[in-house]
């Protein structure tokens, strides 16, 4: 199944978006040329978070925050099994090897699920690493400009 639900900038929703309907050609490592309904679009993938299925895409010069729901996310929602439980997070680990570009939290800061923690550059792409739960920053293990390995601890929570 290639159907996705997409929410753009928390304002627009697209149901059953079939990405195979797009006439899309890569024009660079993060760039694409898209034809849809006779219109031409230039798209650039700015940031990705594959865990939360959130992406920042620049289309014809404008940035859009896109949240995708695949068939499993849709089924969970349809069955009313969504988890709205607040859970505390113990630490944030690097999902891939990369370079720390920016740290967006400080020791002692309270964070909620989905808050940006840091920006990790990997394969020439900026990835916003977000908190997977609620917590208070106990220790920031990395520094700006530091290279990290996949699975390495980035931030520890109380």
- Estimate to the nearest angstrom the gap between the alpha carbon of 94 and the chain centroid: 13
Q: What residue spans in the chain does CATH classification 2.40.50.100 cover?
A: 91-157
The Cα 91–Cα 137 span in angstroms is 9
The Cα 64–Cα 10 span in angstroms is 10
* pTM given for the model: 0.49
- Estimate to the nearest angstrom the gap between the alpha carbon of 8 and the chain centroid: 13
The Cα 46–Cα 55 span in angstroms is 8
- The values of phi and psi at residue 19, to 5°, are -70, -15
CA dihedral sign of residues 16, 17, 19, 23:
positive
pLDDT in tens, the chain (158 residues): 457 777 788 777 777 766 677 788 999 888 999 888 888 999 999 888 877 788 899 999 899 988 888 777 777 777 776 655 455 678 889 888 999 999 999 999 999 888 899 999 988 888 889 888 888 999 999 999 999 999 899 999 98
Please measure the distance between the N-terminal and C-terminal CA atoms of the chain and give it in whole angstroms: 41
CATH for the stretch 91-157: 2.40.50.100
The Cα 74–Cα 67 span in angstroms is 13
User: Do the Cβ atoms of 49 and 128 come closer than 8 Å?
Assistant: yes
């Amino acid at each position: 199944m290639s159907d996705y639900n997409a929410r753009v900038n928390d304002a627009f929703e697209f149901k059953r978006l079939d990405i195979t309907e797009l006439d899309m050609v890569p024009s660079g490592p993060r760039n694409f040329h898209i034809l849809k309904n006779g219109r031409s679009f230039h798209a650039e993938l700015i940031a990705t978070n594959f865990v939360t299925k959130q992406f920042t895409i620049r289309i014809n010069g404008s940035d859009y925050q896109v949240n995708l729901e695949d068939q499993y996310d849709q089924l969970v929602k349809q069955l009313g099994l969504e988890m709205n439980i607040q859970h505390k997070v113990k630490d944030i680990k690097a999902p891939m090897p990369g370079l720390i570009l920016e740290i967006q939290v400080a020791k002692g800061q309270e964070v909620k699920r989905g808050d940006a923690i840091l920006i990790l550059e990997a394969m020439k792409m900026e990835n916003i690493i977000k908190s997977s739960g609620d917590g208070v920053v106990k220790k920031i293990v990395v520094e700006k400009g530091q290279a990290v390995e996949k699975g390495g601890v980035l931030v520890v929570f109380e």
